[in-house]
Chain A
């Protein structure tokens, strides 16, 4: 047992559901107790999704404990198949159902016989993998399923597209700024003259998976989700892949050069140097920013970076290499992939921290006292307590990290967004610091004119106590309304009863 107050990565089934519900017309059925369908709430709230989340639950209750699920799971699958005619139904076990050790594969096989759509079982171990690993695994599983099916029917696409083309792998629902990143990558590919063959899983149809081999190469922008699928496609079809995250000016250039090499090997004969040069110098403002006086003032300032592998590693490199900021500590919660992280950031920071314990990171931040933090919502909170500004660069995230405006982290527009994020965090910190030194904007004592300043009314102790429980920002209003009420009715003393009567009369 482990005492835990907070976790960075969610449980495995969340990863499976993120992948399944990213596809078009794929339905997930969770084998779970009542209340485990919290995923629907997150998707509906965080992504402000207009459509019903295609996830339902085959509920595990006392009866299931006593007698097993029996026909229940099969009935639910067949019912969903008829109601919504999905292309695929993914039966998703949860940590609860996995200890029941029911033969879910058997249910799937039997349900398949009665269903028009395909049915498969998500195969992840809930006690060994987290959300991110499970998402990676599930994407691979769905891919394998449809490649195998395509082969059986002889439908796997032969040959390559005429022009160079790419599959972008790993865009998912509830991913950090994934929708914006996706638009930016599409734009980047268009600028490079590369056709998009497919984007998976977000918005893709499972029926298109058999066309994946037509692309010249695969691009995996995020370290956490999609690599397993890229490996698989490389082995099966000899498709090369590019796994350099195009985040920051230098890494974006490196990614584009790798793409150039990969497609030239297949006879494309392109030269992107001119493009990279033009974008770097004149489209992205990031290179010019690092040269400007603003950025000079950031030189040597201390920062701490923490997040998932992709974003924490990229951010560390941007801060250290492109802005001259002193990254004292870079860390990740992707413990299972720690070696990669170490290798990526070691030369750009003093310390590396691999941990899933938010207390440990909080302590490290308190010890280091950086000028700014770049982390998850948890680090933002640590920053608030320690009065250190924080830019959020990775999940776990809140609704405010699903902005409506266009805010990619990848590609050339991404470099602009990251620059703003970094600069705003540091200047805010600086402004605060100056205000403290000079004692605030306006050092004259503020004289407030309120009715209660010359109150002729007596508040009883308990009423005063009750008033103090009212949140600060409305307390003044409640006090004024209550006193107005008391005056109008000629009360000289304000007791609890008067207070509540006042509340009823004004509805405040």
Chain B
């Protein structure tokens, strides 16, 4: 299959028969991120089995999450769901004493229409522990969208404004972290380094080191990050007032973005996402432009990062990549890889919010034109079976896919990279661009070290899907 060069991106929608993780998997990284939380997944054995297997070793670390496993009597409403949830939440409060309990609604609670949003405020009052409800189910969402539903629910819980000066200190965790060990006068002096701009809240769950890196990156331009959703602790949720600015760091947070705009009257900064040096620069430039700041030294910084990536870029330049699609990072990653010199025929993606991802799509289009490569076809709700046919036809140099297809493709001589690694690796900002390429080039480097062995195809019959 050859892709006819076209002037603008094409969008298609297939059957939605594709493999991805269930969105409840977001508890695995969110419970680690929000240290004083407890995630209660209200579902069946199927949900529990998925989490237990998908999270592998982590399950053994006594996590702050559990299943409220529904039994037959719950399904047929012989048991009172309020009483049942109360019993379990009391036990959680007793054993773990969390600052917040997050209920994750599942397919089953949707179908039997458990009114979690209605039960939560009542139980919250009885229990004295905040209860946040996120309906992260496989009926509506895919994989990383789970985080989106949790964060969208948390936007509601962000305080409006903080009265007490002391509590303000308490909430400003990032600044505290950056100012750690400094005298008060120094801190005041440092405040002056920032440009005078309205408060900016960033949203998206990232590992703490990446939060620090991105915050510092903006600090260099005089942009102050006044809060981050989520923060390390639930009790440190950022304040959001009408007219404040919010900006996303991940492409799958469209509901959260909407919640900021509609519910909290915040202004959304629509920007490409800080993935890859090109994305990071565009992200910072957009934020600066909104605040009327002239960015300094960004071009050199980007060039310098590209120079340091050259050894890895050489390995993939001119090669082709195919995204089967399962975690919504695909557009940003494809844009970065095309900038690295790869070609991309197809970007599969579970769901595409053209408004929220608009600036990223524009950057993708621009990148393709600048690199002189055909624009990729974007396939929403892909059909894995059809995709495999296309893969076997065009034989791309690299397929970014889920674990269900990785080994069978490798056995047929097609190099793969497991897509889930991109969600758990540190991929944001200038500093981590190399980590993305470390992942992307790994199959290439493996191929280089084994190229003369003649062990490419390890299945007997000719590739049969």
The complex places the Cα of A37 from the Cα of B22 at a distance, in Å, of: 9
Inter-subunit contact A35/B180 (CB<8 Å): no
B85 within 8 A of A: yes
- Total A-B contacts with CB atoms under 8 angstroms apart: 192
A13 within 8 A of B: yes
* Contact for B69 among A4, A14, A461, CB less than 8 A: A4
* B208 CB contacts on chain A under 8 angstroms: 469
A264 CB–B CB distance under 8 Å: no
B420's closest neighbor in chain A, by CB? Answer: A41
Q: Say yes or no: is A192 at the interface (Cβ < 8 Å to chain B).
A: no
Cross-interface CB contact of B53 among A1, A42, A381, A497, cutoff 8 Å: A42
Establish whether residues B139 and A65, one from each chain, have CB atoms under 8 Å apart when the complex forms.
Answer: yes
CB pair B405–A33 under 8 Å, yes or no, is no
Contact present for A53 and B404 (CB under 8 Å): yes
- A52 neighbours in B (Cβ, 8 Å): 388, 405, 408, 465
Q: How far is the CA of A455 from the CA of B138 in the complex (A)?
A: 54
- Decide if B448 is an interface residue (CB 8 Å cutoff): no
B431 touches A65 (CB 8 A): no
Is A152 on the interface with B (CB-CB < 8 A)? no
Interface residues on B, range: 35 or more
CB distance from B198 to the nearest CB of A (A): 26
B308 at the interface (CB under 8 A from A): yes
List A residues 436-484 near B (Cβ within 8 Å).
Answer: 460-462, 465-466, 469
Q: Are A500 and B216 in contact (CB under 8 A)?
A: yes
Q: Among the listed stretches A55-63, A115-123, A409-417, which one makes contact with chain B, having 4 or more residues with CB under 8 Å of it?
A: A55-63
Task: Check: A335 CB closer than 8 A to any chain B CB.
Answer: no
**A333 CB to nearest chain B CB (Å):** 13
Chain A residues 376 to 390 lying within 8 A of chain B, measured CB to CB, are 378, 381
B139 touches A505 (CB 8 A): no
Q: Which of B104-112, B122-130, B184-192, B239-247 contacts A (4 or more CB under 8 A)?
A: B104-112
Tell me which residues across on chain B come within 8 A of A40, comparing CB atoms.
19, 404
Are the C-beta atoms of A497 and B431 separated by less than 8 Å?
A: no
- Whether B408 and A5, one on each chain, are in contact in the complex, defined by CB atoms closer than 8 angstroms, is no
Q: Which A residues touch B68, using CB under 8 A?
A: 1-3
Cβ contacts B58-100/A at 8 Å (1 or 0 each): 0110010011111110110001010011011001100000000
Give the chain A neighbours of B23 by CB distance below 8 A.
35
Chain B residues closer than 8 Å to A95, beta-carbon distance? 44-46, 108
* Cβ of B255 to closest chain A Cβ, rounded Å: 15
Dominant SS among interface residues on chain A = mixed
State whether the Cβ of A405 lies closer than 8 Å to any Cβ in chain B: no
Chain A interface size, as a band, is 35 or more
Which A residues touch B69, using CB under 8 A?
A: 1-4
Alpha-carbon distance A128/B75, docked complex (angstroms): 12
Q: How far is the CB of A165 from chain B (nearest CB, A)?
A: 28
| Given A3-B67, A6-B59, A83-B385, also A35-B45 (CB < 8 A) | no
Does B407 lie within 8 Å of A50, measured CB to CB?
yes
For A24-46 the 0/1 string (1 means CB < 8 A from B) is 00000000111111101110110
Name the residue in B60, B69, B91 with the highest tally of chain A Cβ atoms < 10 Å from its Cβ: B60
> Would you give the shortest CB distance from B12 to chain A, in whole angstroms?
18
Whose C-beta in chain B lies nearest to the C-beta of A75?
B15
Inter-chain contact A128/B140, CB cutoff 8 Å: no
Q: In the complex, how many angstroms separate the beta carbon of A457 from the nearest chain B beta carbon?
A: 17
Question: B52 near A: Cβ within 8 Å?
Answer: yes
Q: Are B407 and A4 within 8 A (Cβ)? A: no
Q: Which residues of A contact B405 (CB under 8 A)?
A: 44, 52
B67:A35 contact, CB within 8 angstroms: no
A505: chain B residues within 8 A (beta carbon): 308
Specify the chain A residue showing the minimal Cβ separation from B49. Answer: A10
Known: A6-B59, A33-B137, A51-B411. A99 touches B180 (CB 8 A): no
Contact between B50 and A38, CB atoms less than 8 A apart: yes
- A65 touching B111 by the CB < 8 A rule? yes
Residue of A whose beta carbon sits closest to that of B458 = A50
Partner among B48, B79, B84, B407 whose Cβ is within 8 Å of the Cβ of A7: B48
| A195 vs chain B, min Cβ distance (A) | 26
Beyond A10-B49, A50-B408, whether A465 also contacts B180 by CB under 8 A is yes
Contact pattern, B 397-427, Cβ under 8 Å of A = 1, otherwise 0: 0000011111110010000000000000000
Q: Which residues of A contact B (CB under 8 A)?
A: 1-7, 10-11, 13-14, 32-38, 40-42, 44-45, 48-53, 56-62, 65, 76, 83-84, 94-96, 99-100, 126-128, 130, 378, 381, 396, 398, 460-462, 465-466, 469, 496-497, 500, 503-505, 507
- Chain B contact residues, CB within 8 Å of chain A: 16-17, 19-24, 42, 44-46, 48-50, 52-54, 56, 59-60, 63, 66-72, 74-75, 79, 81, 84-85, 87-88, 91-92, 107-108, 110-112, 137-143, 177-178, 180-181, 208-209, 212-213, 216, 304-305, 308, 385, 388, 402-408, 411, 430-431, 434, 438, 458-459, 465
Besides A36-B22, A58-B17, A462-B177, 9 new A-B residue pairs in contact (Cβ under 8 A), listed by A number: A1-B81, A35-B24, A50-B459, A65-B139, A76-B17, A99-B112, A126-B46, A460-B181, A500-B213
- Show 20 residue pairs from A and B whose CB-CB distance is below 8 angstroms, ordered by the A residue: A2-B71, A3-B66, A3-B69, A3-B92, A4-B48, A37-B404, A38-B49, A40-B404, A41-B19, A41-B54, A45-B407, A51-B411, A52-B465, A56-B385, A65-B110, A84-B465, A96-B44, A126-B46, A469-B208, A507-B308
